[in-house]
């Protein structure tokens, strides 16, 4: 078998040793790889690289059946292209992140602001408890109160804005909006229920109307804006309290038995709305939603105030709440609360009627410390002059001090007490004879007229 193409004049055979004919009688079998020849004396005009490239191409082409030569890309060039692609991708990512960051800092935001401090019309806006200043700015801008979020954020400075609902004019400057959101002047959906306040409004001895809890809610939620009038009426609240289920109103388990017994009577939720400040009554809510909010949140307050603990008295939470409401209504000075609580427990322990003026006043047309004959004589489930035990419900909104006094009454054997002057001084006594003497003092001071000789 031959050794491949013969070496012509002026050519060397590459790797000659690989293609030499074996010596002796050995016969070379199997296919032989063609040998590529390179001129031994290349043309000076042709670069060495071209000669080598030609050799490579000839070698590669020898295995290409179609005669098409594919020259592979050098590794260095491939690596360079991959590097540029990675760098380009990183640049895009950096630019996108930078854009988001700049947007977050408000670089691209409008800083439009109005000039007016008065504005026009009105809008109802809510500041939620977890709102940031930027969130509030967005809410105000969306409602048309301020020109832009950025203007509001810039105007706030180091001031804060309380959560809650606000009625604000539209198209006012950001500085004016910040000023109007300081304090309570433009707040809506906010009320403060004094201790002892009843659900229903009632006239006092001075002929002035004492607004009840229902009227307070109605006033707090009444809001007029450009688009709508919001709020509920005292009548709607009363009707809902009378007809809604315990689940509808979120009545706590410890109050449900008494609540169910008075179905159809709105006073079954008396005392279930605690005294104190209520900051977030939503004017957009209906009567049922508002009452549910107040009852469920009051239950949380009562729990925090210790109502559900038995204390020293072993009373149920509802009994404790009822006693505390009487304690609160009987005396002006809260330092006397523990003593009044002790009188109530002493009378209950002696199986004696409580005969508390406050329970007769609860259903009276006019609330008066000098209880009228009609109020004494009115036989109803609240008037403890006519039955033993507690009134059928609490008789007003209750506060923490009265609950604490009821859970921890003062030690003593008092059975009677009477307030003897307009400053609220109250005298306590063990015997009825001493109590009559104390009443005479109240008569001399013209605090009482009924029953005075």
348 belongs to a structural domain: yes
C-alpha span between 77 and 355 (Å, rounded): 104
Read off the pLDDT of residues 161-220 as tens digits, 9 standing for 90 and up. 999 999 999 999 999 999 999 999 999 999 999 999 999 999 988 889 999 999 999 999
Domain shared by 222 and 147, yes or no: no
- Alpha carbon distance 152, 137 (integer Å): 5
- Same domain for 271 and 299, yes or no, is yes
Are 176 and 262 in a shared domain?
no
Length of the chain: 453
Same domain (yes/no): 208, 135: no
Task: Examine residue 438 and state whether it is found in any structural domain, yes or no.
Answer: no
Residue 127 covered by a domain = yes
444 part of a folded domain: no
Residue finishing a domain among 42, 61, 80 = 61
Same domain, yes or no, for 239 and 167? no
Q: Do 254 and 279 fall within a single domain?
A: yes
CATH assignment at residue 168: 3.30.1490.480
- Encoding tokens for residue 281? 């009554």
Domain stop point among 396, 414, 432: 414
d(CA 307, CA 199): 21
Cβ atoms within 10 A of the Cβ of 335, count?
Answer: 13
209 and 128 within one domain: no
Cα–Cα nearest to 342, from 325, 331, 327, 360: 327
Residue 69 domain-assigned (yes or no): no
Residue 255 covered by a domain: yes
pLDDT value of position 95 = 79
Within a domain: 78: no
Write down the pLDDT at residue 105.
Answer: 60
Please tell me the predicted confidence (pLDDT) of residue 68: 52
d(CA 53, CA 208): 113
> Looking at the structure, do residues 288 and 407 belong to the same domain, yes or no?
yes
* pLDDT (tens digit per residue) in 20-33: 444 444 444 444 44
Say how many CA atoms lie within 13 Å of 87 toward its Cβ: 6
Domain with 53 in it: 1-24+33-61
> Per the structure, how many domains does the chain have?
3
Q: What are the pLDDT digits (tens) for 4-50?
A: 444 444 434 334 444 444 444 444 444 444 444 444 445 544 444 44
CA distances from 176 to 123, 156, 171, 187, 241 (A): 15, 10, 10, 15, 40
Name residues of the chain where pLDDT drops below 70: 1-74, 99, 101-109
| pLDDT in the model for residue 206 | 86
Same-domain pairing of 268 and 301 = yes
Give pLDDT tens digits for 298-307: 999 999 999 9
Residues 255 and 212 in one domain: yes
Does 199 fall in a domain? yes
Looking at the structure, tell me whether residues 222 and 180 fall in a common domain: no
208 in the same domain as 142? no
């Amino acid at each position: 078998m031959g050794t491949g193409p013969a070496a012509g004049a002026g050519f060397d055979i590459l790797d000659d040793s690989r293609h030499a004919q074996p010596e002796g009688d050995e016969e070379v079998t199997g296919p032989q790889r063609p040998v590529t020849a390179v001129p031994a004396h290349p043309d000076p005009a042709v670069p060495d690289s071209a000669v080598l490239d030609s050799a490579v191409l000839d070698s590669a082409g020898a295995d290409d059946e179609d005669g098409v030569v594919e020259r592979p890309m050098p590794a260095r060039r491939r690596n360079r292209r991959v590097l540029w692609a990675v760098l380009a991708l990183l640049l895009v990512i950096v630019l996108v992140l930078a854009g988001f960051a700049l947007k977050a800092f408000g670089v691209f935001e409008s800083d439009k602001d109005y000039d007016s401090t008065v504005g026009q019309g009105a809008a109802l806006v809510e500041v939620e408890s977890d709102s940031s200043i930027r969130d509030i700015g967005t809410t105000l801008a969306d409602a048309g109160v301020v020109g832009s979020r950025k203007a509001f954020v810039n105007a706030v400075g180091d001031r804060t804005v309380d959560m809650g609902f606000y009625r604000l004019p539209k198209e006012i400057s950001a500085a004016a909006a910040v000023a109007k959101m300081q304090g309570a002047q433009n707040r809506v959906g906010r009320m403060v229920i004094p201790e002892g306040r009843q659900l229903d409004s009632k006239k006092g001895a001075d002929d002035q109307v004492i607004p009840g809890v229902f009227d307070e809610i109605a006033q707090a939620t009444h809001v007029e804006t450009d688009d709508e009038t919001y709020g509920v009426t005292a009548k709607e609240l009363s009707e809902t309290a009378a007809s809604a289920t315990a689940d509808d109103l979120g009545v706590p388990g410890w109050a449900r038995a008494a609540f169910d017994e008075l179905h159809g009577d709105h006073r079954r939720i008396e005392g279930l709305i605690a005294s104190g400040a209520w900051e977030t009554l939503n004017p957009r809510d209906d009567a049922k939603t508002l009452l549910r909010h107040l009852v469920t949140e009051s239950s949380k307050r009562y729990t925090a105030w210790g109502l559900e603990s038995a204390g020293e008295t072993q009373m149920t939470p509802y009994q404790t709440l009822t006693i505390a409401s009487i304690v609160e209504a009987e005396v002006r000075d809260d330092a006397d609360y523990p003593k009044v609580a002790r009188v109530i427990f002493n009378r209950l322990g002696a199986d004696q009627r409580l005969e508390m003026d406050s329970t007769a006043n609860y259903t009276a047309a006019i609330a008066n410390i000098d209880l009228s004959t009609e109020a004494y004589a009115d036989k109803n489930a609240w008037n403890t002059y006519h039955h033993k035990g507690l009134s059928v419900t609490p008789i007003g909104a209750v506060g923490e001090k009265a609950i604490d006094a009821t859970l921890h009454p003062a030690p003593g054997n008092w059975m009677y007490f009477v307030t003897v002057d307009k400053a609220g001084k109250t005298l306590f006594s063990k015997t009825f004879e001493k109590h009559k003497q104390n009443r005479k003092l109240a008569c001399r001071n013209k605090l009482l007229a009924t029953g005075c000789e």
